[in-house]
Amino acid sequence: MKKFGNILWGVVLIVVGVIFGLNAMGLTHINIFFRGWWTLFIIVPSFIELFRRSNKMWSFIWFCIGIVLLLCAQGILSFELVGKLIFPFILVMIGLSIIFKDTFNHKIAEKIRTLNSNKRELGEYCATFGEQKSDLSGEEFKGANLDAVFGSVDFDISKAIIKKDEVINANAIFGGVEIRVPTGVNIKVKATPIFGGVDNKANAQYNESLPTIYINAVALFGGVEIK
């Protein structure tokens, strides 16, 4: 999906370049500065992100906002009415996402619950109004809880020993969590972004013979990055 998103960005730039070129040569007179053209800076990126991100809620919200603003700029809808309804709309979308997030990722959610319910101690890494960096190179990884509250957690297991499926519970509340994962594992993410973001940049292709790291990420006015 990320590769397809990159292709879309390439297509968009090529189309814009061709339009400018044809206009410059006088072959066409396409006016890209129509009423509400600025909404494309919201619509196009959010549409492409729908194909790049595993969690699509905020991309979908911004795409809808962009379309509505374009309709307002075109005089089809009223800015005043939209201004009154946009905040309730966002709250409704967040509520629906929270209610149905386990429905769309049922298998991942169930596996995370199973791993968390095992009677064992997960590693605890917490940063509150500060920063914590942890490197588990050469150590056997047995799961972890990462909490960044007005702080940042840098968690590196890229050279750790992964023998079986493990779970990482990452919570970023007005803070940031960065997780560096190894290449020889599968990565499965269940993301709950609430006025925040969860970005999975790990280039891991699924292989059932390899162990899987399940990442349960919650971002509240914060960010979780996996790479």
pLDDT in tens, 128-155: 999 999 999 999 999 999 999 999 999 9
The answer to whether 194 and 168 are in contact (CB under 8 A) is no
Instruction: Give Cβ neighbours of residue 69 (< 8 Å, ≥ 6 apart).
Output: 36, 39, 42, 82
Return the ∠ at Cα 3 (arms to 164 and 22), rounded to 5°: 170
Q: Is it the case that residue 97 has pLDDT exceeding 90? A: no
Lay out the sheet containing 166-173: strands in order across.
Answer: 123-128, 144-149, 166-173, 212-220, 186-194
- Whole-prediction pTM value? 0.61
98: pLDDT strictly greater than 70: no
Indicate the DSSP class of residue 122. Answer: P
Mean pLDDT score, 11-37: 81
187 with 161: CB under 8 angstroms? no
Rg (CA), the chain: 21
Q: What is the dihedral of CA 47, 48, 51, 53, to 10 degrees?
A: -100
State both tokens at 78.
């009223």
Amino acid 155: pLDDT: 96
DSSP string for 161-205:
B--S-EEEEEEEESSEEEEE--SSSEEEEEEEEESSEEEE-----
Choice among 6-10, 21-25, 180-184, 207-211 with the minimum mean pLDDT: 6-10
pLDDT digits (tens, 9 = 90+) for 107-120: 788 888 888 887 56
Average pLDDT, rounded, for the chain: 83
In this prediction, residue 16 carries a pLDDT of 78
| Tokens of residue 40, six digits | 């494309």
Residue 93 and residue 105: Cα distance in Å, rounded? 17
Tens of pLDDT, residue by residue over 42-85, are 888 888 777 766 556 677 778 888 888 889 988 888 888 888 88
